[in-house]
Amino acid sequence: MRAAHHDGQDASRPPPQPAPGLREMSGAQAREQVRRAVHACAADAPDGAGAQVEQRLADAQLACSELVSNARRHGGGLAWFQVRAEGGHVVIEVGDHSSALPLSPPRDALEPGGFGWALVQRLAEKISVEVRPDGRGKIIRAHLPVR
C-alpha cells in the first residue's frame, strides 16, 4: 500500500526537481510569476471584477512572499518554486530542505515576526504540505482564489 498525504497525493512518487536559479531568485521575481498567473486566471473574469482581482493579486503576492521567505529562513533554503493558474485559483508551490511542518506558535501582537504561516493559512482557500519520502524536505501548495 502506498503512503498518502492528507491532501491525497501519493507520497512515494519522486519529488519535482528544482528549477535552476532558485538560490538567486528574488522575492520580486517570485511575485512577478504570481502576477502573471493571477492575470492569466482572471482573463475571463466578468467586466467590473478588476478591483477584486487586484485585491486577490495583492493577497497571492503576500502569501508568496511569506512562503518564499519562510523557506529561506526556516527551511534551509528554497528547493522548489512553481506558480500556475488552475480553475479560478493560483497555486503557489514552495519547497525547502526541511521536513519540519510549518507552525504558528502563539505570539505577542506587539512582537515582530512569526505571523507568516498564519497569514498564508488565512489567505489560502486550500493548503497541503507534502514531506518528501526521504525526509529531506517538503513542498507546500497554497491555492489562492482569484475569481
User: How confident is the model over 97-143, as pLDDT tens digits?
Assistant: 999 999 877 777 777 777 889 999 999 999 999 999 999 999 999 99
Q: For residues 126 and 75, give the distance between their C-alpha atoms in angstroms, rounded to a whole number.
A: 21
C-alpha cell at 22: 532558485
> Which residue type occupies 126?
K
Q: What is the DSSP letter of 42?
A: G
Please report where in the chains the cell 497554497 appears, as a residue.
Answer: 142
Contact by Cβ (8 Å): 138, 95: yes
Interval 10-57: pLDDT, tens: 545 555 555 557 778 898 999 999 999 999 988 876 666 677 889 999
CATH dotted code for 22-145: 3.30.565.10
pTM over 0.95: no
Tell me how many degrees the CA angle 58-64-66 measures, rounded to the nearest 5. 105
Q: Which residues pair with 144 in a beta bridge?
A: 90
Contact by Cβ (8 Å): 135, 11: no
